[in-house]
Amino acid sequence: MLDFDFYRGKKVLVTGHTGFKGAWLTAILKEAGAKVTGYSLEAPTEPSLFELAGLEDGMRSVIGDIRDYDRLKTVFDEERPQIVFHLAAQPIVRTSYEEPRATFETNVMGTVNVLECIRQTESVRSFLNVTTDKVYLNRDDDVAFTEDMMLDGYDPYSNSKSCSELVTHSYVKSFFSDKDAPAVSTARAGNVIGGGDFAKDRIIPDCVRAALSGKDIIIRNPAATRPFQHVLEPLWVYLEIAEKQAKDRIYAGYYNVGPDMTDSKTAGEIAQMFCDSWGGTLNWVDKSDGGPHEAAFLRLDCGKLKRAFGWKSVWHIDRAIAETVAWSRIYAEGGDVKAEMMREIAQYRIEAEDNESRLKG
């Protein structure tokens, strides 16, 4: 079970805090009483969840490029963090085809820069590098990936994240193997959904934009299968990994972080579930745009995570979509999206703790 009290008063650095997942993580950490510093580029979308929810209040938000080692090192030197979460990345597959060099620079050398700063910062006790489920060699067959399978992402984004994993492995073996060194893990997460994601070329933001404009949802590859989950699901896991390995290095390792197998859905199924939850006359249409290669099938085996932490999914895909629709409707109506964000965090915490109590009982 995640111990919120562990983070109270802890100095935590989050890279990529202005992004979708980074904003949700920042909100949770602030609620837990952590002293949060964020390091990131300006919010990557307009609008952005980070700005809509006013998350800059009560934290230090540093605008900087993860490729700028000197600036990043200055922040480490000034803040002396104890826990580091690395989420800063170029995260879009299609963008990586358009900007491969920038993608590799950000996702590979950005990881090197963070690890080098950690190597030279004695205060750091726990580090989590967030990568992706797309790091594996994917032959589009019906196989659920386990952590010991070959890393070899196809497109520049996926491959750069495979490299980020390997860089982390090298630093662990070369510099962080001593019992007094920081504990290090990577988390290979599945596709996340939730309120406040305004990115391009992602299915749920595309669904929301279509719903708000009264247009059909365009699905370019409705048969593509992905492990979808609400954003709070992996974030809870990230926080627990960082907490547990800070207390005991036995928990440090490489983890798949995805939903139950039943929540791996096709893009067409996700679109239909969104339409049903949104209501009205919203529809989706199959319209391929002849874009670059993307894997047709992707599924994670999260047995290692379950064995190590006794983890069990709390919000399944139907609930994930319902919560996303609820947040999006409040946003569309000009309501208090921060209050909705905090309501979801509080409710998820209650249900996660109840779930854990039932498992133990």
Q: How far apart are CA 15 and CA 21, in angstroms?
A: 11
Query: How distant, in Å, are the alpha carbons of 205, 213, 249, 322, 329 from that of 209?
Result: 6, 6, 44, 16, 11
Closest CA to 176 of 241, 110, 132, 126: 126
pLDDT tens for the chain, residues 1 to 361: 899 999 999 999 999 999 999 999 999 999 999 999 999 999 999 999 999 999 999 999 999 999 999 999 999 999 999 999 999 999 999 999 999 999 999 999 999 999 999 999 999 999 999 999 999 999 988 789 999 999 999 999 999 999 999 999 999 999 999 999 999 999 999 889 999 999 988 899 999 999 999 999 999 888 888 889 999 999 999 999 999 999 999 999 999 999 888 888 899 999 999 999 999 899 999 987 666 777 777 889 999 999 999 999 999 999 999 999 999 999 999 999 999 999 999 999 999 998 777 666 6
Dist CA 310 CA 210 (whole Å): 39
- Torsion-angle region of 288 (φ positive above 0: left; ψ -120 to 50: alpha; else: beta): beta
Beta strand residue intervals within the chain, DSSP E: 11-15, 35-40, 60-63, 83-86, 126-130, 183-189, 191-193, 217-219, 225-230, 254-257, 264-266, 284-286
